[in-house]
Structure 1
Amino acid sequence: MKGFNKFNLDKDILKSLNILDYKTPSKVQEEVIPVLIDRNNILVKSKTGTGKSASFAIPICNQIKPLERTLKALIIVPTRELALQVKEEIEKIGRIKKVKCSMISGKEPLNNQILELKQGANVVVATPGRMIDHISRKSIDLSNLDYFVIDEVDKMFTKGFKADIDTIIKSVPKIACKAFFSATVENDLKDICEEYMTNYKYIEVKESEEILKNEIVQQYIKVNNLDTLIEKDSKYENLKKLLYKYKPETAIIFANTKRNAEILCKDMKRDGFLAEQIHGDISQERRFFIIDAFKKHEFNILISSDIISRGIHIDDVSLVVNYDIPMDEEVYVHRIGRTGRAGKKGIAVSLVSASENKSFEDIQNYIKHEIDSIDIKCTEKDKEDYELKVKDIKEKGSLLEFQQEDEFSGEVTKIHINLGKKKKIRIGDIVGALNNIENIENEDLGVIKIYDNYSTVDILNKKGIPFLNEYSEIIVKNKKAKVREEK
């Protein structure tokens, strides 16, 4: 039996996976999904870009009963960016099954999060500090948890979150299945994990070599050690030629230090490239904004320190450039793992100066793969064509309707209703109003969320568009409400 059918998943989960074009489980999914369906504790070592988030999202969504309002899974992650990303994965996989997921992190009003939790979340994705706020306020009930997941567990413990995890886990039922995921696992991490769970299975997924060889074209360019902007063989001049020649839809350029990232970003902007930078000195809120804009293709070159080399999923990155060669071989693997994701092809090019030759040789030994040397030549026509691409990106970025495509478009339609909490609207009021619409029944209603001044509801089974074509207003709790598609 091929594909995800072998796991005996719920038909609605299989339908979502098919819409998302998840055809064949990755190695980490093969290993993890059956273990979590059976609710066994695990510690997983798996590289980034291997489908790790889906490996826990699929069994969690599969086990949640339709229309269940109880909190069944808590997922702790180190950053707000990763929290949003995991939330999006769970919402996609569980959308047709009506799984309700809430994100709890800093920089968001606490009262809004409390309101959302009261509406009955099935899954919560949270950062540690804000999770402790909710536990202390007793605004979240963890007593019925089936799953407790920590993603990027090595980061969690090296960045000083252990005390927070100690506090959180005291509220987690002992019988809850615990699953910890990490890109690296040392003996001290295993010791820490044994404090939180017993009789766990250790899963190490060794798939990096296969991914690097088959899905990512790796190349390098020899550059002059004297890296001045005017030197024709400098890193910067080779980088420009590389971009003009390959014309990537999206590119991530990695520098070893925030200073190098800042200088490179300034130079690239001066030369007309659509570039933004991200590193540890940039606030989390600003990083969140920049990554979101990059995902929406509002610019096409992201310059980064290693802050996003692992853990952040940005799909369809055409090109990764190592502007500086990392000293750590694992960092190289994490960096180039930003491209060639989910079975798609990608290109990774390293700019190697003489002083970096030894580090680059160590990387090739580590990945057991010889990387091809290339010499980039580009014409004035290449540069002109690239400038046309930049102009096109600018024009698209200025359009309000330029949004990320919804894979569920047609099958599921999110409806915006202009009444919310301030008008004392409850979920039951919206269900009642929509049940009065001909051809819409309870099983056609997906996740419903109530906000202060508006509400949203997923209409399933391809009934959303016909509904919007016929109705611009409905009656909710004896009040006229305008309805439209939620953008």
Structure 2
Amino acid sequence: MRFKDFSFDGKIIHALDKLHYIDMFPIQEKVIPLLYDRQDVIAQSKTGSGKTAAYLLPVIQNTRWDEKEPQALILTPTRELALQVKEEYDNISIYQRLKCVTIFGRQPYKFQIEDLKQRTHAVVGTPGRILDHLERGTLSLNKIQYVVLDEADEMLNMGFIESVKKIMTYFPENHTTALFSATMPEPILELAQKFMKNPVHIKIEETSIHTGIHYAYEIKEHEKTQFLIQLLCKELPQSCIVFAKTQAHVIEVCDALYEKGMSVDKLHGGMLQEDRIQNIKDFKRGLFRILVATDVAARGIDIEDVTHIINYDMPNEKETYVHRKGRTGRAFGKQGITISFLSQYDAQRKEELEEYLGYALEIHDRNEVDQIHVDEEVLRKLEENPQVKKDKAEALRKDTTKLYINKGKSKKIRAGDIVGAICQIEGIQSEDIGVIQVQEHQSYVDILNGKGIEVLKALNQKTIKGKKIKVEVAKEN
């Protein structure tokens, strides 16, 4: 089925066209009609199957612009996934002027509260911080129409399940719940049974998603780093994530590859939040070739062209292997390669993983790697950055300009005042105005359809409520 064949609003179809969303994935074909009709859904699908759009499209379609309080709450296990969901929400809803707010830890409450006081259509966040806001009374769920639990099994693994249960008690009775999970452990099924109303169960079989190639090498713990260098020289990956179990291992491995001149950077939970976010953006754009990461990268990174996953350390949880593996071959019709290092300490992990997979993990002869000669010519290839990738939302952003206005609530400015001033500009209509955020001392407004500079110039010659304003193109975060 094609997206344009479903009864979406024309503004959604326009955004999907710009995003080059043409054919639905299997999970989208099954989930979208159910959520559109307000039916509870439990969807089991491997990572990379297109589930984010599967729940966002009906949520956005059924959102009322004129309602001030949030109509959708999406819970995610990590801030990286929350930011990715928000980006997708913003892209799909760009022509409908819907506002999505992210709420997670290590971020000042002050700014989150300020955001939530304004018209907000959807909230995406991690369970701990969402529960904090609910208990403080700074987040209202009275108007919630949709609740989405994304990566529910990972929320269980990270110890969030009790927070999720408490959050579920805050919702109004008449709401629709969607639960998405790659695996369905018993506590997740119990959660669904307690809080969902006659949910439709959907399972996308593994055959619907290319499983890719995966195998292992048996390597002594102290030999791993040198073996990894030789393996990278053998495989010459275009885009690769190397998973290590601790921050110390990540730093050690990243430094070793960097010393060899490879195009590499790192990602782990001990980094500053802005550095983590920037490294993810740079890796997605193709500004470096190899990302060394803890399992903070096993979820929430949607990159279609990762060619290789290397498990430098085997994960403690067998389900995590599936999530790591899901970072590669994310586009249908593509196969990724997952290579694992099995040390002398991994016998039990291997046994549990094979029981979970239902077959033995193929062990390759390490001699094929040991014989690789690490010379300057080979290393030079790994020094090169891969080709910079096009952002799928580039066409949308090309026509959209976020403007900064140096007046806000403290000067009695309201969103309606900004709309009124913009609509007085010749050739500008309400359809050219996107999301407006009025903060205490400044405001932001998205101008659509390539008319940003035109509006910028005109507004600098105008006043709002009799006050002279200064307007600039907003700086990127």
TM-score range, shorter chain: 0.7 to 0.9
In the alignment, residue 350 of structure 1 is paired with which amino acid?
A: I
Cα distance in 2 between the residues matched to 1:229 and 1:103: 39
Shift of the 189–129 alpha-carbon distance from structure 1 to 2, 3 Å rule, reads closer
**Higher alpha-carbon deviation: 164-173 or 403-412:** 403-412
Listed as ranges, the matches of 1:100-119 within 5 Å are 100-119=99-118
Identify unmatched segments of 5+ residues in structure 1. Answer: 397-401
Q: Quote the offset at 1:306 in angstroms.
A: 2.9
8 A contact 1:319–1:346 mirrored in 2: no
Does the aligned pair in 2 maintain the 1:80–1:284 contact within 8 Å?
Answer: no
Q: 1:268 aligns with which of 257, 276, 279?
A: 257
Q: How does 1:437-476 map to 2 (within 5 A)?
A: 437-468=425-456, 473-476=461-464
Q: 1:334 to 1:298 in 2, by over 3 A?
A: same
The aligned residue for residue 333 of structure 1 is: 322
Q: Does the residue aligned with 2:395 lie in a helix, a strand or coil?
A: coil
Q: In the alignment, which residue of structure 2 is the partner of 1:381?
A: 377
Query: How far, CA to CA, are the matches of 2:307 and 2:437 in structure 1?
Result: 36
**1:359–1:160 Cα change, 3 Å:** closer
Distance 1:174 1:241 in 2: 57
Change beyond 3 A, Cα 1:64–1:351: closer
- Is the contact between residue 256 and residue 325 of structure 1 (CA under 8 Å) also seen in structure 2? yes
- Structure 2 letter corresponding to 1:130: R
Deviations 1:424-479 (A, max 9, x none): 42211211110111111222211111234432212223433544576655433323
Secondary structure at the residue paired with 1:65? coil
Q: Structure 1 residues 130, 4: CA separation in 2 closer, same or farther (over 3 Å shift)? A: same
State the match for 1:399 in structure 2. Answer: none
- After superposition, what is the alpha-carbon deviation per residue over 1:232-279, rounded to whole angstroms, capped at 9, x for unaligned? xx5233234146x34x2x421123555543431231232233433334
1:211 partnered with 2:199: no
Q: 1:383 is matched by which residue type in structure 2?
A: L
Note if 1:477 corresponds to 2:451: no
Structure 1 residue 280, shift from structure 2 partner: 5.4
In 1, the alpha carbon distance for the partners of 2:417 and 2:45 equals 45
1:7 aligns with 2:6: yes
Mapped to 2, the partners of 1:184 and 1:129 lie a distance apart of: 22
1:320 and 1:348 in contact (8 A); partners too: yes
CA distance in 2, matches of 1:320, 1:416: 41
Q: 1:147: how far off? A: 0.6
- Could you tell me which residue of structure 2 aligns to residue 317 of structure 1? 306
Q: Secondary structure at the match of 1:446?
A: strand
Match of 1:350 among 317, 334, 339: 339
TM-score by length of 2: 0.84
> Is the 1:474–1:483 Cα contact (8 Å) retained in structure 2?
no
Distance between the aligned counterparts of 2:71 and 2:461, measured in 1? 35
Structure 2, gaps ≥5 residues long: none
1:100 and 1:120 in contact (8 A); partners too: yes
Q: Give the counterpart letter for 1:211 in structure 2.
A: I
Q: Secondary structure at the match of 1:269?
A: helix
Mapped contact 2:150–2:179 kept (Cα < 8 A): yes
Instruction: Check conservation: 2:86, 2:101, Cα contact below 8 A.
Output: yes
Whole-Å Cα distance in 2 between the matches of residues 6 and 476 of structure 1? Answer: 43
Q: Equivalent of 1:252, from 232, 236, 241?
A: 241
User: Does the residue aligned with 1:96 lie in a helix, a strand or coil?
Assistant: helix
Which residue of 1 is the match for residue 424 of structure 2?
436
CA distance in 1, matches of 2:224, 2:298: 26
**Shift in alpha-carbon separation, 1:136–1:202, aligned structure 2, 3 A:** same
On the 8 A contact 1:67/1:98 being kept in 2, the answer is no
Instruction: Find out whether 1:406 has 2:402 as its counterpart.
Output: no
For 2:44, the equivalent position in structure 1 comes to 45
**Distance (whole Å) between structure 1 residues aligned to residue 181 and residue 364 of structure 2:** 30
Supply the AA of the counterpart residue of 1:238. Q
1:173 is matched with 172
In the superposition, relative to structure 1, how do residues 226 and 303 fare at CA in structure 2: closer, same or farther (>3 Å)?
Answer: closer
Change (3 A) 1:314 1:223: same
Using the TM superposition, name which of 445-454 and 71-80 deviates more: 445-454
Corresponding residue number in structure 2 for 1:25: 24
CA gap of 1:268–1:73, structure 2 versus 1, over 3 A, is same
Structure 2: how far apart are the matches of 1:291 and 1:97? 28
Residue range with higher mean Cα deviation, 426-435 or 323-332? 323-332
Alpha-carbon offset, residue 75 of structure 1: 1.2
Q: How does 1:136-285 map to 2 (within 5 A)?
A: 136-206=135-205, 208-213=206-211, 216=212, 218=213, 225=220, 228=223, 235-242=227-234, 245-246=236-237, 248=238, 250-279=239-268
**Counterpart of 1:184 in 2: which secondary structure?**
coil
* Partner Cα separation in structure 1 for residue 137 and residue 441 of structure 2: 26
Cα shift readout 1:72-93 (whole Å, capped 9, x = no counterpart): 1111222222221111111111
Evaluate the alpha carbon distance shift between residue 110 and residue 324 of structure 1 in structure 2; reply closer, same or farther with a 3 A threshold: closer
Q: 1:85 to 1:386 in 2, by over 3 A?
A: same
Measure how far apart 1:175 and its partner are.
Answer: 0.8
Q: Which amino acid aligns with 1:6?
A: D
Computed over aligned residues only, the root mean square deviation of the Cα atoms, in angstroms, reads 3.6
Contact 1:474–1:482 at 8 Å: present in 2 too? Answer: no
- For the structure 1 residues 288 and 311, does the alpha-carbon distance in structure 2 shift closer, same or farther, using more than 3 Å as the test? same
Local SS of the residue matching 1:321: strand
Structure 1 residue 373 displacement after superposition: 8.5
More displaced 10-residue stretch of structure 1: 361-370 or 191-200: 361-370
Could you tell me whether the CA contact under 8 Å between 2:3 and 2:22 is conserved in 1?
yes
Is residue 289–residue 382 contact of structure 2 (8 Å, CA) maintained in 1? Answer: no
Change (3 A) 1:289 1:460: closer
Helix, strand or coil at the partner of 2:413: coil
1:18-69, Cα deviation, whole Å (9 max, x unpaired):
1111111111111111110010112221111111111111110011134443
Q: Counterparts of 1:191 and 1:463 in 2: how far apart (Å)?
A: 51
Deviation at 1:354, TM superposition (A): 8.6
After superposing the two structures, state which structure 1 stretch, 39-48 or 109-118, moved more. 109-118
CA deviation digits over 1:285-309, x for unaligned, max 9?
7644543454455544221233322
Specify whether residues 241 and 164 from structure 1 end up closer, same or farther in structure 2 by C-alpha distance, changes over 3 A only.
Answer: same
